[in-house]
Structure 1
């Protein structure tokens, strides 16, 4: 059967037409025009994209988030911090409470005296609560700022340092410690309570100036008699103001936030005891959706039976 004259060559002729000097239906001049068009087109798109990114970067600070309106300051966290907010162990079985002890050990290493020796990075801010420490504006030319030293020994019976008996932070005696901190927020300055009416009565006699107080109590009213005595260790009865504001990782890479150690002396054993700890301040809020905002809940189950 003779081949169709118009279709002679078929797809081969479409790929390269030697008579018209066309590749895929276009001449070299046509391909050059298309190439130049797309180079200019995508070049303009890339230029617009780079320009908008550069314009956005001009509005951003290297030292703090531009928008902090969705940050709900501050979070309250503790060590040890088990996954299910439950501390469950047996006094007679070291393997059950050793993970909690190791967690506190690892956390407090940053507060060891040898870590804070460098006078170019750390400074003494007093052994009593004081007012905020002003180290200049974030965007100033002051460069890296010093941080206040925090002595681990201030944590008293929860420091894990005084003697061999305290190395397990009370877990082996059924008197466990929690090490509590306010989470870091750049340039945030927590304000003490405006009046005594906003804090529990138990806190008022011990309240000091220049401190964000903390208080723990039973989560359920019917469990109040199961909690027993609580004692707080640290610089004052809460978080002292001289450690604020925090200037961020670039300007204060060595920053140590103040700590409060909480020791529970007489928690009833072999039952579940739920505890709530809260900090109190004029600009500290709480939320049912975020259980770490300004407070935390934890359940203790200390067993004595094998």
Structure 2
């Protein structure tokens, strides 16, 4: 019992020693010194951290990326998208393709004619492919840049204007394709010799063409006829470069609609689409770099 009392007294003495005026083994002066030490120490660390962040921010632009060395331009994306790029639906059951139709409508809403009427924000850039629309450097001195109009009516049967189901009701679905936005990127037209035969007849001076075909050998008949709608069967160069969200907030990137008019039904059909440009590469690690694959399963 005496040992327990001594032990209890030892703990109480450690918490507060009235004889020496110590709290947790330190006097008030000692606590003040250690508090000041850590205050100065961590204050200096915080100052160094804030200083390095501020120094880094001075090297960055508010209008364009300073470093783009890890960007592999450009990605090719399609709408509608689904899990594992598989588009499966029953053309007789509207509920099975309603989500695809909605995603297409959402994509095309900004391309509605009525939303492109402001003369200070939009300009006509022609209805045929043309060269780059140079609007200066990607800095703030010229203010916000005007955007080329791109009307959804250019997408013809895949515009949603004449057919609200975008072909899904008839088992002839549409895909709408775009090149992903990269600030100040200028895609270059391809060399005619590097193109597949089906694309070589396109006038490519000012357009980045796109072409789709069967992914598996010997399945050409399953894919059937493919029609392309847009401007010049590809991405016209007058819509480039893109200046970023701050300088180009109303920018509309060009679209290409791909209409699969005779896909074999009740079977799985794999299709690969590629864009062709002198500075567009493909990567085995990224299946959306300059291309994409899609699998159709259409039942009736």
Q: 1:207 aligns with which of 203, 207, 210?
A: 203
- Write out aligned runs for 1:1-306 (5 A): 10-161=10-161, 163=162, 166-193=163-190, 195-304=191-300
Contact 1:207 1:237 survives alignment (8 Å): no
Please report how far the alpha carbon of residue 7 of structure 1 lies from its aligned counterpart in structure 2 after TM superposition: 8.8
Distance 1:15 1:273, change over 3 A: closer
Please report how far the alpha carbon of residue 198 of structure 1 lies from its aligned counterpart in structure 2 after TM superposition: 0.8
CA RMSD of the aligned region, Å?
2.1
Please give the secondary structure, in 1, of the residue aligned with 2:273.
Answer: strand
Q: Residues 163-218 of structure 1: CA distance to partner in whole angstroms, max 9, x if unpaired?
A: 3xx2211111222111110111111111110x211111111112332100001111
Contact 1:207 1:213 survives alignment (8 Å): no
Please report how far the alpha carbon of residue 54 of structure 1 lies from its aligned counterpart in structure 2 after TM superposition: 0.9
Distance 1:178 1:17, change over 3 A: same
Please give the secondary structure, in 2, of the residue aligned with 1:205.
Answer: coil
Q: Residues 208-246 of structure 1: CA distance to partner in whole angstroms, max 9, x if unpaired?
A: 321000011111221012222111111112000111111
Distance 1:8 1:285, change over 3 A: closer
Please give the secondary structure, in 1, of the residue aligned with 2:97.
Answer: helix
Q: How many pairs were matched up?
A: 299
CA distance in 1, matches of 2:208, 2:7: 89
Distance 1:123 1:2, change over 3 A: closer
CA distance in 2, matches of 1:44, 1:98: 59
Gaps of 5+ in 1: none
CA distance in 2, matches of 1:115, 1:19: 83
Distance 1:7 1:180, change over 3 A: closer
Please report how far the alpha carbon of residue 97 of structure 1 lies from its aligned counterpart in structure 2 after TM superposition: 2.0
Distance 1:14 1:88, change over 3 A: closer
Contact 2:140 2:247 survives alignment (8 Å): no
Contact 1:208 1:237 survives alignment (8 Å): no
Please report how far the alpha carbon of residue 30 of structure 1 lies from its aligned counterpart in structure 2 after TM superposition: 2.2
CA distance in 1, matches of 2:16, 2:269: 84
Contact 2:63 2:140 survives alignment (8 Å): no
Please give the secondary structure, in 2, of the residue aligned with 1:221.
Answer: coil
Q: Residues 74-118 of structure 1: CA distance to partner in whole angstroms, max 9, x if unpaired?
A: 111111112121222222222222222122111111111122222
CA distance in 2, matches of 1:201, 1:69: 33
Please give the secondary structure, in 1, of the residue aligned with 2:175.
Answer: strand
